[in-house]
Amino acid sequence: MSIRTDLAVEITENNNYKGVTSKKSTKSDLTVTEIEIISEEAARQIGKPKGKYITLTSDTTLNTHSDQFYERARVLSEVITELINGAENILVVGLGNREITPDRLGVDTSEHIFATRHIHNLAPDLVTENMSKVSVLSPGVMGETGIETAEAVGAIVKSVSPDAVIVVDSLACAELDNLAKTIQLTDTGISPGSGVQNSRAELSKSTLGVPTIAIGVPTVVDMQTIAEHIFKQKADKSYRSLSVAPKDIDRIISRASKLISSGINLALFPSLTLEEINSLVE
């Protein structure tokens, strides 16, 4: 049976791959699973690059109001801080198609990021302690622009010269228990659309020349995967073109994007509170 997923945790669970380490912990109300692929052989077997894959999983879907919002954002910011490893000049890229709700996670996230590069360049006297130099880009999709996403992002990277890139995108999963409940962060970058068999050129350190962190939430699961999990046998090929999203996907995208943007902002502006950041971007 085939497994179509962007989540490393789904591929590695219940498989004893050599060259893969895994550990679990609990922070706030989130289960944190840290997976590291450390050998080339394991990377080939799993079909994912060597590197770190960290998932934060909730018992409830991300559309649900939670009193733990700030704590979740804080946990997310801690992971982001670890992955960017001291970088202060950051390009945040929100991928996706704003006309397709399950695919607009990155677009909506980018709208809530505190951009400060212009302040550093034009009004340096206003720069405060721990104010990262942040640029934000939402390049759209090739069907709208005629430009490959990697080309657009690569051109901006050459112009802006960031120390690191943070890419946010919607993902696909294979387990319904992970649908809209899990945030994956990785230092390996991303191949946009890979989970739904529409893979574009990857965004990674090897293609962009700088460390590239990818953050995403699984917002769809394909029908073939669902059928094969239910019936435990190969599903009809006609199911491959069908992707299923939760019925409340609008709220999921809205709340998940605010959570991710809050985590990014807290990581990049540690001297500011979330309330202060929100007053600057909303």
- pTM, to two decimals: 0.92
Q: How far apart are CA 100 and CA 198, in angstroms?
A: 15
Q: What is the pLDDT of residue 192?
A: 67
Looking at the DSSP assignment, which residues form a beta bridge with residue 24?
A: 33
Q: How far apart are CA 135 and CA 137, in angstroms?
A: 7
Confidence of residue 222 (pLDDT cuts 50, 70, 90): confident
Per-residue pLDDT tens for 230-257? 777 777 777 777 889 999 999 999 999 9
Domain range enclosing 54: 8-281
Q: How far is CA 221 from the centre of its chain?
A: 16
Q: Which of 19-33, 160-174, 191-205 has the lowest mean pLDDT?
A: 191-205
Asked, for residue 53, whether it belongs to a domain, the answer is: yes
The Cα diameter of the chain in Å comes to: 64
Cβ neighbours of residue 194 closer than 8 Å, sequence gap 6 or more = 6
Asked, for residue 142, whether it belongs to a domain, the answer is: yes
Per-residue pLDDT tens for 90-105? 999 999 999 999 999 9
Q: Kindly state the average pLDDT of the residues 248-276.
A: 95
- Token pair belonging to 213: 């962190």
Give CA separation, 96 vs 21, 99, 133, in Å.
Answer: 31, 9, 24
Cα-flanking dihedrals φ and ψ of residue 264, to 5°?
-65, -45
Q: How far apart are CA 67 and CA 61, in angstroms?
A: 14
Q: CATH no. for residue 268?
A: 3.40.50.1450
Asked, for residue 2, whether it belongs to a domain, the answer is: no
Asked, for residue 220, whether it belongs to a domain, the answer is: yes
Is the pLDDT confidence value at 195 over 50?
A: no
Closest CA to 193 of 261, 87, 95: 95
Please count the structural domains in the chain: 1
Query: Which amino acid is present at 242?
Result: L
Give, as one character, the DSSP assignment of residue 48.
S
- Token pair belonging to 141: 């999709």
Do residues 59 and 39 touch, judged by C-beta distance below 8 A? no
Asked, for residue 152, whether it belongs to a domain, the answer is: yes
Asked, for residue 269, whether it belongs to a domain, the answer is: yes
Asked, for residue 212, whether it belongs to a domain, the answer is: yes
HSE-CB at 142 with a 13 A cutoff on CA atoms is 12
Per-residue pLDDT tens for 131-165? 999 999 999 988 889 999 999 999 999 999 999 99
Asked, for residue 112, whether it belongs to a domain, the answer is: yes
Q: How far apart are CA 257 and CA 247, in angstroms?
A: 17
